Amino acid sequence: MSRSLSEWLDRLERLHPVEIEMGLERVSAVRDRLNLRPAFPVILVGGTNGKGSTCAMLESIYHRAGYNVGLYTSPHLVAYNERVRVGTREAGDEELVEAFERVDSARGDISLTYFEFGTLAAQLIFSGRMVELAILEVGLGGRLDAVNVFEPACSVVVSVDIDHIEYLGGDRESIGREKAGIFRSGVAAVCADESPPASLVAHAQAVGADLHLIGRDFGHARADSGWNFWSSAGKKTGLPLPALNGARQLDNAAAAFECVRILQPLLPVDMGALRNGLIHARCPGRFQVLPGKPEVILDVAHNAAAARTLSENLRQMPCTGRTLAVFAVLRDKQIHEIASALAGQVDRWFVCDLPVARAAPAASVRDVLLQQAASMQVDVFDNVATGFAAAREAARENDRILLFGSFYTVSQALKSSGTPGLQARF
């Protein structure tokens, strides 16, 4: 009797002895047993922040151009099905179960992590659905990430900053080298980091990648109510702003546009698809402003760079009332730096525990916040649902509630029965 999707996901969490194990040997071996050699072009998208938004824009542009597009992203917010999309629609439970069973049968005695299992399953689905293009979001780093066992037609690194230092190194140069691991000889590589680490540029040169840098080979400029894109092929003017909110979305859009331009001979896209793709792109949880009063903002920002961007976004969208922050974070993150970036934007904190082993205890997070200012108002809750409910109770009509700190934080709010109406608004 076949397992259900939820049973499979529970099993995948227990199959491998550790949650994360960097390396390509095991996943490459199972890929070969499955004979997974995609006939369709693949775009690999990595980066510390912004890769989810860039993937969403690429998916939307190519979908509007009439292509059957596969998109693989992680993590999910509400349901695992979000990770695998074909034609902008999430894969069904039965389809995912069938793919998991095929991977399980092929792997034999080879142990795979949760993410590795999912990566191979997604590619099986894409092959079965005969997609014309697959967009694969890098899970962690790049060089040793499971998606890197597939050969790209173009690789994108959106940004490089400090995160996952236990796996990638403690400085931008070390991390940049890991991100650049998705570059290939003779294959276009797009980087949208305005100050790319020397290690990234050096690796591109060493492997013979065709590197395209923002500010040198392509870029953007605001113009009236829209923006302009420029590259070696010329300019595209009067473009609509992306539907996705945020101060860095033009960097992400420019990276997507440069990737599309590079692949134009292989996958032609007209101007209408570019414009409509920007307007219709969706990426939940990235400075997502929900309608209604009080205003609710969801943001998965979970590192210092993302927190600084979040702070900038809040400044660009002033609030006549107070900002109440519901905050929960993992202990391996730069909690002090995240708190520092948002300290001037938040009037009251609702700090919560998360039901995962890697979570930072809410009491410890409170202590970090109070180091910033002893007079800061900080309340502690044992879960996100109760913290968010308390923030809603405390909020006045002109206040806003900011819910951020982790994918888990946003996910817990969306899943919780203690947040009535939120998932419908989501």
Asked if residue 1 has pLDDT above 80, the reply is no
pTM of the full structure: 0.94
Q: What is the pLDDT of residues 107-120, one digit of tens each?
A: 999 999 999 999 99
Share of residues in the chain with pLDDT > 90 (%): 84
Asked if residue 418 has pLDDT above 80, the reply is no
Contact 43, 115 (CB under 8 A): no
Among positive and negative, which fits the CA dihedral 238, 244, 246, 251?
A: negative
Find the length of the chain.
426
Q: Whose CA is closest to 96, among 76, 81, 112? A: 81
The tokens describing 169, both together, are 């190194």
Q: What is the pLDDT of residues 26-47, one digit of tens each?
A: 999 999 999 999 999 999 999 9
Q: Whose CA is closest to 245, among 294, 273, 293, 282? A: 282
Confidence of residue 87 (pLDDT cuts 50, 70, 90): very high
Highest mean pLDDT among 17-31, 250-264, 408-422: 250-264
Tokens 């570059």 correspond to 183
CATH class of this structure's domain 5-280: alpha beta
Distance CA 363, CA 28 (A): 43
Q: C-alpha 71: how far from its chain's center?
A: 12
Average pLDDT of span 57-71? 98
Question: Considering the chain, what is the average pLDDT of its residues?
Answer: 93
Q: Whose CA is closest to 77, among 404, 418, 421? A: 404
Q: Give me the residue spans of the domains in the chain.
A: 5-280, 288-425
Please tell me the CATH superfamily of domain 288-425, with its number.
Mur ligase, C-terminal domain (3.90.190.20)
The tokens describing 11, both together, are 């099993």
**pLDDT for the residue numbered 426:** 44
